[in-house]
């Protein structure tokens, strides 16, 4: 896929993966689903679900390093700043030949890399973020999308980003 195709697909994901309602119980269920998927697949990832500025779910699975905690924070900051996936933000910056610093942000606090996805509620917008860290960025992104698609009973095959060749 080209960058433009990826950006178009991510825009579709962000529109399709929107909840009618989302509360603390839903946030916990999302985090737990990600933890179960990762455990079944033997993935060493960190998982974070944050609503507004309140952490609701966090898990660090075997294989995670202290660096993943910082990656989660920085990727989540991208979502909470721009209300779009951290991967889309990174692809757009790269396409435009820009960095987060060009937007007046610190690379120490913002990571335009895949793995954080907005939690959107219909009629409200972005109320938080779900973040995965520990895999290549495209895989982090796809895992977050997979969990959201499962929770919302959406067809993952039409939403998932194709693997890079």
Q: pLDDT tens across 88-136, in order?
A: 999 999 999 999 999 999 999 999 999 999 999 999 999 999 999 999 9
Q: Selecting from 3.90.1150.10, 2.60.40.790, 3.20.20.150, 3.30.450.150, what CATH number does the domain 3-153 have?
A: 3.30.450.150
Q: Provide the residue ranges of all domains of the chain, joining segments of one domain with +.
A: 3-153
Length of the chain: 165
- Give the span between the Cα atoms of 12 and 43, in whole angstroms: 27
Residue 58 clears pLDDT 60, i.e. is over it? yes
Residue 126, phi then psi, degrees to nearest 5: -75, 125
CB 134 within 8 A of CB 68: yes
Residue 47 clears pLDDT 90, i.e. is over it? yes
What is the reported pLDDT for 162? 86
């Amino acid at each position: 896929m080209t960058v433009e195709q990826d950006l178009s697909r991510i825009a579709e994901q962000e529109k399709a993966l929107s909840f009618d309602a989302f509360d603390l119980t839903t946030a916990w269920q999302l985090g737990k689903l990600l933890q179960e998927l990762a455990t079944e697949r033997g993935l060493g990832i960190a998982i974070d679900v944050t609503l507004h500025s309140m952490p609701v779910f966090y898990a660090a699975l075997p294989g995670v390093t202290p660096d993943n905690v910082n990656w989660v924070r920085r990727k989540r900051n991208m979502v909470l700043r721009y209300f779009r996936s951290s991967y889309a933000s990174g692809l757009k910056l790269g396409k435009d030949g820009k960095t987060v610093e060009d937007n007046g942000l610190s690379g120490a606090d913002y990571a335009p890399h895949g793995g954080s996805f907005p939690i959107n509620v219909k009629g409200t917008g972005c109320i938080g973020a779900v973040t995965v860290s520990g895999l290549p960025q495209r895989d982090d992104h796809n895992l977050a999308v997979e969990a959201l698609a499962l929770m919302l009973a959406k067809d993952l095959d039409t939403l998932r980003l194709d693997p890079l060749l």
